[in-house]
Structure 1
Amino acid sequence: MSFGDPNNPYGQQPPQGGQQPYGYPQQQPQGQPGYGYPQQAPQGVPPQQGYGYPQQPGGQYPPQQQMYGGTPPYAHWGTRVLATLVDSLVLLVAYIPAVIGAAIGDTVGAILSLIGFAVIIGVVIWMLMQEGKTGQTIGKKTMGIRLLRESDGQPLGVGMAFVRRLAHFLDGAACYIGYLWPLWDDKKQTFADKVCSTVVVKV
């Protein structure tokens, strides 16, 4: 009596069609990754970032200004006034040598006056350069605000900062109404800000 293949003591016949019996390792179909295998992105489609990956800034302002739905927090009128007062105080301190020189008179007084005026001009130029390069004067830095281009949220440059200073003439032309315009303007801009396309934001 024969019980089949002596190498197959259980007498089981191999399944037809090339299928493996239960318990044998299954072969993975070609072209299809198995469960747990890294998924390949289709050709021409960039891989998507998973949860937890850093996202690219969606707005036009720097990452530190992506607040309130992408809109920068505009500086309040009172904060801007205080920043201007701080800048004016700095210029007043720089003006002291000129005042002392004018009070003394004579040659020494004239020298002190010249030194005082030179210091004032130097401080004005330095503050203008700082505002153009960083968006902050001493007063703005003290109050935590910054002057930026409305288009891309970057400092406007020394040249445009100078043009904006000249454009402040428009703010004072009509009974200084331009300086008060940020009180009710949506972007809290003065006339000079609107002409030069600038905004003052919190940092």
Structure 2
Amino acid sequence: MSFGSPNNPYGQPQNPQNPQQGYGYPQQPPAGQPGQPGYGYPQQPPPGVPPQQGYGYPQQPGYPQQGYGYPQQPGYPGGPVPNLASMGRRFGARLIDGIIYTVVYVVLLFAGVAGSISSAQNCDPNSADYDTCINDAGSSMGAKIFAVIGILALFGLLYEWLMTGLVGATLGKMAVGIRVVKADTGQKPGLGSAFIRWIIPLVGGFLCGIGQLLVYLSPFWDKSGRQQGWHDKAASTMVVQN
């Protein structure tokens, strides 16, 4: 019984396709030929076929998934604070809106007073009903002034409420480049939040205007870092710069 031969002294079983190598040793590829892929080698795709995405390959750019490793969108809880509007811009927007209110008030008041004055001028001084005519003209002027105030309040409601809720900004805010958004989503406030945001300063205005002034100054005292006034906190809104 022989344990081997001169070419195979240890009795290693030989590979019939390559007698120089046995089954117990890894086969070496011939010179000039690449090794065969196996478990220890990355699989090579056929020519013209893109590589398959796997656990060891990075994901394709352009499709970031929102997760723990990605920053949240601005305006969302836990995300970065968006570019907040400065108090100077907010004051400028309020000033422009105040000028618009004043122009509308003056136009309406002039129209009402001019009509009452015209009625008073038509009273005949020689008539026995002259005093009655003058009194009627005065009563008409008072009624028209109250009507002007009511129309101005309605205009303020529609102007501030609808534009803030549907557009996110009044003309004054548009002029200085700021807008109102929901603090939790960054979207337009909507009619419900816009109404709450409008009614709180209006109620404060009944206290000789002091309450309204405090509401508009309240962002200075906000410690949340979002410069929210009392009306913003009640409506869950904040003012950002475009």
Q: Distance between the aligned counterparts of 1:163 and 1:190, measured in 2?
A: 12
Q: Which has the larger radius of gyration?
A: 2
For 2:150 and 2:43, locate their aligned partners in 1 and report how far apart those are by CA, in whole Å: 78
Shift, 1:143, TM fit: 1.0
User: Which residues of structure 2 form unaligned runs of 5+?
Assistant: 1-16, 22-26, 120-139
1:29 CA displacement = 3.0
Cα 1:25–1:174 change in 2 (3 A) is closer
Bigger relative contact order (CA 8 A; separation at least 6): 1
Return closer, same or farther for 1:129/1:119 CA change in 2, 3 Å cut-off. same
How far apart are residue 200 of structure 1 and its match? 0.7
Q: Match of 2:51?
A: 38
Deviates more, 1:114-123 or 1:78-87: 114-123
- Identify which of 153, 156, 165 aligns with 2:189: 156
Q: 1:197 to 1:95 in 2, by over 3 A?
A: same
TM-score under structure 1 length normalisation: 0.67
Which of the residues 17, 26, 37 maps onto 1:28? 37
RMSD: 4.0
| CA distance in structure 2 between the aligned counterparts of 1:123 and 1:79, rounded to whole angstroms | 20
Query: 4+ residue stretches of structure 1 with deviation over 6 A?
Result: 107-110, 112-117
The corresponding residue for 1:182 is: 219
Aligned-residue sequence identity (percent) comes to: 28
Q: Render the CA deviation track for 1:28-70: whole Å, top value 9, x for unaligned.
A: 337941399724324xx9x8534x53646732437xx9xxx82
Contact persistence 1:147–1:199 (CA under 8 A): yes
Counterparts of 1:119 and 1:108, CA distance in 2:
23
What displacement does 1:95 show? 2.5
Aligned pair partner of 2:238 in 189, 192, 199: 199
- 1:200 is paired with a residue of what secondary structure? strand
User: How far does residue 153 in structure 1 lie from its aligned partner after superposition?
Assistant: 1.2
Q: When the two structures are superposed, what TM-score results if normalisation uses the length of structure 2? A: 0.58
Check 1:190–1:100 CA distance in 2 against 1; reply closer, same or farther (3 A cut). same
Query: Do the aligned residues in 2 keep the contact of 1:135 with 1:155 (CA within 8 Å)?
Result: yes
Q: Distance in 1 between matches of 2:117 and 2:58?
A: 76
State the aligned residue count: 181
- Name structure 1 gaps, 5 residues minimum: 1-13
Distance 1:49 1:139, change over 3 A: farther
